[in-house]
Amino acid sequence: MSKVFISYSHNDKVKIQDVVRQIKNAGHDVWIDESKLLVSDPITVDIQENIRNSDYVIVFLSPHSVESTWVRQEIYETLYQELHNRKIKLLPCLIEDCELPKAFTKTKKFSRIYENFLINAKESVANILSILDESAREVFRDEHYAVLHIPFPGLEIYLAGETYGWHKNDEMKYFETVDSYLLFGFSIDPFKNFKHFVLCEEKDADSIKGKLKSLAYTVTGAGDTDPETNKRRIWFNVKPGIEFSNYSFRISEDNNQWIENA
């Protein structure tokens, strides 16, 4: 039997309750948060641990859930676990027509089959139960990803450099997990210079610089203005040894250049 984490919007509680009941009746250990989070509430450590300890995470996709900050964080936290462990964990279930989360549609390479409950709900439940009875299959065998451990919500962070250009690039934008930021679906190019930057309003610049410094990131200056948005770009470097996928690169402290494949 599998340990199953349910990710959903509380607005969809009635729609999913029969599916959840059938999963429980099949003998699976289901974790579902019955409390309603308020706008100011953070994702809790308890939720993060339950995602990590689950065999599968079922996310019910609807206009409500894809707009939910907490559901998005749960999705990206689960994607990180998949990238790290190279095993399928996330089971997306479409229960109402909606625009899919950006991480799912980032490239064709990362597209996956969605269980569409709008076509045949009974068959979809049977399909999900069949997956839960099996061992997780392999995924993301040789994909590259990077994680920035920054436990502050709502930051707009990008990777930039010689390979990707020194400007805002939506393909190189980090996704917010529960307590960090995840970037995946890109190719690494050793021996190139790179930096990260946070895009922010002028009034928030000093606060964000302080947060980054407190986490031991190196802030390289006062920042500049992003030509596309007129927002402030706060540039920062990571410490030597940032991990990209199954590669660990040593990085020079002076200019954040990938100098050695460890």
- Closest to 218 in 3D by CA, of 233, 235, 194: 235
- For 15, the domain range is 3-132
Do 80 and 196 fall within a single domain?
no
For 189, residues 6+ apart whose C-beta sits below 8 A from its C-beta are 162, 163, 258
Do 170 and 85 fall within a single domain?
no
Tens digit of pLDDT for each residue in 14-60?
999 999 999 999 999 999 876 554 544 555 667 888 899 999 999 99
Give the sign of the dihedral formed by CA 136, CA 74, CA 103, CA 147: negative
Whether 161 contacts 167, CB under 8 Å: no
Residue ending a domain, among 132, 159, 186, is: 132
* Domain membership flag for residue 139: no
What residues does 251 pair with on adjacent strands? 258
Residue ending a domain, among 107, 132, 157, is: 132
What's the number of domains the chain is made of?
2
Tens digit of pLDDT for each residue in 86-117?
899 999 999 999 988 887 777 666 666 689 99
Other residues' Cβ atoms within 10 Å of the Cβ of residue 62: 21
Q: What is the mean pLDDT of residues 121-131?
A: 96
* Domain membership flag for residue 161: yes
Do 160 and 213 fall within a single domain?
yes
Do 94 and 159 fall within a single domain?
no
Do 189 and 244 fall within a single domain?
yes
Which own/partner pairs from 168-176 qualify as long-range (CB within 8 Å, at least 24 positions apart)?
Answer: 168/199, 168/226, 168/228, 168/229, 171/106, 174/146, 174/148, 175/72, 175/76, 175/79, 175/102, 175/103, 176/72, 176/73, 176/76
* Domain membership flag for residue 140: no
- Closest to 41 in 3D by CA, of 153, 159, 161, 162: 153
Pull the structure tokens for residue 98.
């909606």
* Domain membership flag for residue 219: yes
Do 152 and 116 fall within a single domain?
no
CA-only gyration radius of the chain, Å: 20
Give me the pLDDT at residue 259, please: 45
